[in-house]
Every structure is written in structure tokens, then in C-alpha cells.
């Protein structure tokens, strides 16, 4: 009986840790950092499993810390929304003090590990945690510009991988940042659209016009176009060591048209189902784009 209780207790703690760090989201963000690292390695900066492992652990800690701090700050707001009310802190399974301790510990571990790779990686991780926790999170209940602010820490992981590989921030890392920066807008506005009523309960502002209307849908289309343009920059020959072949550029362009189709579809239908579909397509888009970039690099 005691063994069963202990197992249940350990399982519960593990599940709560996954929830407070948003493990699914953290792993998907981590994929961006791994992609950036693989794109950054070269003869001058060779691939090292030890660096990749540290990047993965440090990167997870970085994202997990941001999410944990977010859930401490938003514990009262989370209790108002159906999708968040069962999280560890608002449900009472974890005290705010314990959540704060976890967040602080992850911050220290994450930044320390990334510092062993190079100082720039640690610096960008610290900036990401600060912006997400201290600027983006408080702004969510004040203005829809929170999405713009949140796009900065959200765009760091792809770039972070390149910086971890090379120790440098230049046009290459900046381009990776730009791609994921523009990606944030259609992705999070789609989420804000199909979860509009839930966010409204907590007074959270996500959509640029504050409403599920044509103007919001039009902005989603426009930012998707900017995303496509940013994604094709490496094919034009002025992004340094980051470049893709014409074949890869065609694939990236087709991926962009695929996402643009669903952005236009949202404009036409303006339904929660269309917004959810766009969100799922956007997740596939960024992952497939990164895979195309990586495969293109190692096959050419």
C-alpha cells in the first residue's frame, strides 16, 4: 500500500513538473534550438555532442523557468480559465512558493549551463526569461501589444542554437530570429481567436483589434506574408553562412503558401475551427521549415 502511494506521489510530482514547465511546449521550442545549432556547426565550429546536450538541458530549463514564473504570476488569472484552472498552482497541488522555487532553480541551472557553452548563449537566455516574465506576462491583461513583446523571447530559441554553435551573433542568427519572430503573430493570434471566450474571462488581450473580425484576420494574413519573405531570405545570398539552395527555397515557399491558404481561409470563415486549423498548420510549418533548412545544408 505504501509503495503504491509513493509511486502515485512520485508520478504526481513528475506530472506537475511537466505541467508547470509546459513540457510539450518546451520540447517543441527546444527543437528550434537544436535546429539552429545544426545549422551553425561547420569546419570552424564542429559538431559536439556535449555542447548539444548542454544546449538541450539548458534550453529546457530556460523555457521551463519562463513558464513556471508565468504560472506563479498568473495563478489567479489561470483559475478563471477552463484550459488553465487545473494547472498545479491554481488547482492547489503546488504552492506558489514551491513553484517560485522551481522557476528560480531552473533559471540558475539553465543560465549556468548555457554559460559553459559561451557567454552570449547565457545572455540571450537571461534576456528571454526576463522579457517573458517581467514584460510579456504583465502586459497580457493590459494590451494586445503583449503579443509583439512576447514575440521577442519566443524568437530567441532558433537563434540561440546558432549562437551556441558559433559563439557569434551576426546576420545568420539575426535571420533565424526574424523568421521565428514573424511566425509568432499568426500562430498566437490563431490561438487567441479560438480561445477568445476563455481569455475574455480573465481579461487577457491577444487579438490586435480586440475582436474576432476581418481586421484581425487581415493582419494574420499580412504577418504570414512577412513570415514567407523572411523564410526565403537565406536563398537570396546575403545572409552570410546561412543559405539554402533553390530547391529548398521552392519547398519553403510551398510551405508558406500552405500556411497562407489557411490564413486566408480564416479571413473568409472567421470561425474557431478555422483558427485552430491555422494554429496546427503554423506549428507544422515552423518544424518542417527547420527540417528543410537542415536537410538542405547536409545534402548539398
Which pLDDT tens digit goes with each residue over 41-87? 999 999 999 999 999 999 999 999 999 999 999 999 988 898 888 89
Count of domains for the chain: 2
* pLDDT, position 14: 86
Residue 290: alpha-carbon gap to chain centroid: 14
Residue ending a domain, among 113, 138, 169, is 169
To the nearest whole number, what is the mean pLDDT of the chain? 93
* pLDDT, position 13: 84
Which pLDDT tens digit goes with each residue over 2-13? 444 444 578 888
Alpha helical stretches, state H, 74-170: 75-78, 88-91, 96-117, 119-130, 137-139, 146-166
pTM score, whole prediction: 0.92
C-alpha cell at 158: 532558433
Q: Supply the range of the domain harboring residue 277.
A: 170-299
Q: Give residues with Cβ within 8 angstroms of 245, minimum separation 6.
A: 235, 296, 300
C-alpha cell at 197: 471566450
What CA–CA distance (Å, rounded) separates 235 from 229? 10
Q: How deeply is 210 buried, as exposed, middle or buried, from its count of CB atoms within 10 A (0-12, 13-18, 19+)?
A: middle
Residue ending a domain, among 116, 134, 169, is 169
Question: In terms of domains, do 187 and 232 share one?
Answer: yes
What CA–CA distance (Å, rounded) separates 48 from 164? 11
Residue ending a domain, among 117, 143, 169, is 169
b/e code 41-69 from CB counts within 10 Å (16+ = b): beeebeeeeebbebbbebbbbbbbbbbbb
Which pLDDT tens digit goes with each residue over 108-137? 999 999 999 999 999 999 999 999 999 999
Question: In terms of domains, do 155 and 224 share one?
Answer: no
> 300 pLDDT band (50/70/90 cuts)?
confident
* pLDDT, position 7: 47
Statement: residue 1 has pLDDT above 50: no
Which pLDDT tens digit goes with each residue over 184-240? 999 999 999 999 999 998 889 899 999 999 999 999 999 999 999 999 999 999 999
Which pLDDT tens digit goes with each residue over 143-192? 999 999 999 999 999 999 999 999 999 999 999 999 999 999 999 999 99
CB–CB of 94/66 below 8 Å?
A: no
Q: Give residues with Cβ within 8 angstroms of 233, minimum separation 6.
A: 175, 178, 179, 239
Helices (H) and strands (E) in the chain, counts: 14, 0
Question: In terms of domains, do 147 and 277 share one?
Answer: no
Amino acid at each position: 500500500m505504501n509503495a503504491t502511494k509513493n509511486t502515485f506521489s512520485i508520478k504526481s510530482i513528475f506530472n506537475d513538473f511537466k505541467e508547470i514547465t509546459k513540457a510539450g511546449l518546451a520540447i517543441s521550442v527546444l527543437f528550434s534550438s537544436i535546429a539552429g545549432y545544426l545549422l551553425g556547426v561547420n569546419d570552424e565550429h564542429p559538431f559536439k555532442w556535449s555542447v548539444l546536450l548542454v544546449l538541450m538541458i539548458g534550453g529546457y530549463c530556460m523555457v521551463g523557468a519562463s513558464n513556471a514564473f508565468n504560472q506563479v504570476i498568473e495563478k489567479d488569472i489561470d483559475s478563471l480559465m477552463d484550459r488553465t484552472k487545473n494547472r498545479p498552482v491554481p488547482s492547489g497541488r503546488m504552492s506558489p512558493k514551491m513553484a517560485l522555487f522551481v522557476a528560480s532553480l531552473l533559471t540558475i541551472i539553465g543560465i549556468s549551463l548555457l554559460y559553459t557553452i559561451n557567454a552570449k548563449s547565457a545572455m540571450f537566455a537571461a534576456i528571454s526569461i526576463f522579457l517573458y516574465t517581467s514584460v510579456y506576462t504583465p502586459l497580457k491583461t493590459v494590451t494586445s501589444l503583449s503579443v509583439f513583446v512576447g514575440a521577442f523571447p519566443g524568437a530567441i530559441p532558433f537563434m540561440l542554437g546558432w549562437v551556441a554553435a558559433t559563439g557569434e551573433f551576426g546576420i545568420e542568427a539575426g535571420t533565424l530570429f526574424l523568421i521565428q519572430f514573424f511566425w509568432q503573430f499568426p500562430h498566437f493570434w490563431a490561438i487567441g481567436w479560438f480561445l477568445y471566450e476563455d481569455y475574455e474571462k480573465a481579461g487577457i488581450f491577444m487579438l490586435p483589434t480586440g475582436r474576432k473580425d476581418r481586421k484581425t484576420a487581415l493582419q494574420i494574413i499580412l504577418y504570414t506574408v512577412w513570415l514567407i519573405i523572411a523564410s526565403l531570405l537565406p536563398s537570396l545570398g546575403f545572409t552570410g553562412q546561412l543559405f539554402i539552395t533553390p530547391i529548398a527555397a521552392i519547398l519553403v515557399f510551398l510551405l508558406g503558401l500552405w500556411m497562407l491558404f489557411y490564413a486566408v481561409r480564416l479571413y473568409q470563415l472567421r470561425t474557431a475551427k478555422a483558427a485552430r486549423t491555422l494554429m496546427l498548420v503554423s506549428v507544422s510549418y515552423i518544424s518542417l521549415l527547420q527540417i528543410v533548412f537542415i536537410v538542405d545544408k547536409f545534402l548539398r
